[in-house]
Amino acid sequence: MSSIVEYGPGMSSEDDPRRAAKVLYDLEMALWELGMSKLNYDEEQDCFRFPEDGRFAFSKREANWKLLEALGYTP
């Protein structure tokens, strides 16, 4: 099982994990603001967490790519 997540032509979590995390964060934040996010937003830590158990999913700077893939997360 690969932990590489592709976001479109020329961009994946393997190429630049920090940049990919920021894109994912921005997308999920927009969904959260619309009330459509699948994740919980932790305002204190400025990150997103899985609602089932509160585990860290991603922030602006990093993401738990292996867990995101294992849980089948897609924005």
| pLDDT recorded at residue 1 | 47
Q: Rounded to an integer, what distance in angstroms lies between the CA atom of residue 11 and that of residue 55?
A: 25
| pLDDT recorded at residue 13 | 53
Phi first, then psi: give them for residue 59, nearest 5 degrees: -130, -170
**What does the domain layout of the chain look like in residue ranges?**
32-75
Question: Do the Cβ atoms of 36 and 75 come closer than 8 Å?
Answer: no
**Tell me: the pLDDT tens digits for 3-29?**
555 655 555 556 688 888 999 999 999
Please state the pTM of the whole predicted model: 0.78
| pLDDT recorded at residue 72 | 87
**Tell me: the pLDDT tens digits for 22-66?**
999 999 999 999 999 999 999 999 999 999 999 999 999 999 999
A 10 A CB-CB count for 15 gives 12
